[in-house]
Structure 1
Amino acid sequence: MNTRQDFRFEVCANGVESCLAAQEGGADRVELCTGIPEGGTTPSYGEIKAARRLLTSTRLHVIIRPRGGDFLYTPLEIERMMTDISVCKELGADGVVFGCLTKDGEVDMDSNRRLMQCAEGMSVTFHRAFDMCRNPQKALEDIISLGFDRILTSGQQPDALSGAPLLQELNKQATGRIILLAGCGVNENNIGRLRSLTGLNEFHFSARTKVRSNMEYINTQVYMGSKDADEASIDITSAARVSQTIKACLE
């Protein structure tokens, strides 16, 4: 018999509104980020501050990722990431989420160690940079040795359900030394199966729905970003979908 206390649910929140929906839906924590099309980047000072003020029962974790693309960072990028972690700590965030790799697809021990020192006292997640590692078993041991609390991973596949075999294997290897947080493509329709296949008890999902813009006039000849992007709507986390996904896991 699965009980709510057996699991932790994290919502990938692309703004304060999504944070509030996650909290209303019963999420244990949010991973606050912007730049979703790039896989998530560090949100603004104002976004973090507002989320911290409004989240009262849901924990706030903030992604520390200065740009999209790979996870091989320059010294200047590491410097900015350290500053961002300090800002998150100053604003009262409960945790941060980051991950640095070497050019050979290994865990960058030096860079991650520097960031871990900045994040002392906070909960720390190694994000899906893990899914780009050459050797996931070795990467797991490296990340454990650095002192991370959990790893967000899809099992090195395009979605967590496809990566279920590796997620199960890594969970056995971890033997309780670190938490495996299954994420990417997790929703109310597959979370129960994912739970059964992996034995994991932490899940990461977005539960977003498309909301149409309130603009009455839109110039369709001009684009602020990609020509193919839908700029007449935004995706926001749905409290109902968060609740439904949690319920589906417990059934």
Structure 2
Amino acid sequence: MIPVPPSSRTRLEICVDTPDGLAIAIAAGADRIELCSSLDVGGLTPSPGLIALASDSPVPVYAMIRPRQGDFVYGTQDLAAMRADITAVRRAGLAGVVIGASRPNHSLDEQTLADLCAEAGTLGRTLHRAFDLTPSKSVALELAVALGFERILTSGGASDAPSGSDGLAALVIQARGRIAIMAGGGIRPENLTALVHRTGVAEVHASGKVVALPPPDIVRWGFAGDRCFATSFDAIRALRAALP
């Protein structure tokens, strides 16, 4: 596939799930924040305290709206929680939400997404990587455009963005500027520049995290796993330096 050069400076979104991570990502130069809890399972809805803390952010903050780990097929109680979380994000003054919903066959759940988008109102909206499970990425992209999403976070249908570079490039071509394609999954300083030039994506998403070993007694008491992750100022700066 012919590489598609980005039209302007590539924007960097950093996902964080702690108060320190939020402060570090802002200080390190993130263009936008995805605010979560539990990044070890792909990100869940952040706590009310973290949402309140992010309300003073000098850069746009989009809150993940995902009430539980697992699939993206949501029942009545899940949806009630998601609507309430979106209302809380709007009242806190954050810039947007990150949402997604699927049918059992992994196609996007149009009615659920339409309901969540209506609840979001004027908030910005990112469609998350539930998109990558869909059987037809081209159909899913057109639905995202019709629903008014600003962007799609995707690895191009592969397990990570570098492996899905052909798919990402095809999505950028199909999107024709109607919706942003934001590459995410496995993005590191050493592969970022080539990925952007190959695919033409205008936005990239990463965690900028490093392994942090918790104290042995904390692990022994079951308050942490053997490995934890922490947002790294240096890792984010390295990502910024690699941006075309």
TM range (shorter): over 0.9
Correspondences of 1:46-85 after superposition (within 5 Å): 46-53=49-56, 55-56=57-58, 58-85=59-86
Asked if 1:13 is matched to 2:16, the reply is: yes
Farther-moved stretch of structure 1 (97-106 vs 165-174): 97-106
Counterpart pick for 1:35 among 35, 38, 45: 38
Tell me which residue corresponds to 1:198: 199
Contact kept, 8 Å, 1:14 with 1:236, in 2: the verdict is no
Letter in 2 for 1:202: E
Q: Distance in 1 between matches of 2:13 and 2:82?
A: 22
RMSD after superposition: 1.9
Asked if 1:248 is matched to 2:224, the reply is: no
Letter in 2 for 1:49: A
Tell me which residue corresponds to 2:178: 177
Q: Distance in 1 between matches of 2:118 and 2:201?
A: 28
Contact kept, 8 Å, 1:33 with 1:63, in 2: the verdict is yes
Q: Distance in 1 between matches of 2:218 and 2:52?
A: 33
Tell me which residue corresponds to 1:230: 226
Q: Distance in 1 between matches of 2:229 and 2:218?
A: 20
Question: What is the SS of the residue equivalent to 2:12?
Answer: strand
Q: Could you tell me how far 1:5 is from its partner in structure 2?
A: 5.9
Tell me which residue corresponds to 2:217: 218
Distance 1:220 1:93, change over 3 A: closer
Gaps of 5+ in 1: none
Correspondences of 1:90-169 after superposition (within 5 Å): 90-169=91-170
For residues 186-242 of structure 1, what are the alpha-carbon distances to aligned partners after superposition, in whole Å with 9 as ceiling and x for unaligned?
1111100111110111000011123344x5x716544347xxx316xx322112211
Letter in 2 for 1:112: L
Distance 1:68 1:195, change over 3 A: same
Counting matched residue pairs gives 240
Letter in 1 for 2:19: V
Tell me which residue corresponds to 2:48: 45
Question: What is the SS of the residue equivalent to 1:101?
Answer: coil
Q: Distance in 2 between matches of 1:9 and 1:219?
A: 34
Letter in 1 for 2:23: L
TM-score under structure 2 length normalisation: 0.93
Letter in 1 for 2:71: D
Distance 1:221 1:100, change over 3 A: same
Gaps of 5+ in 2: none
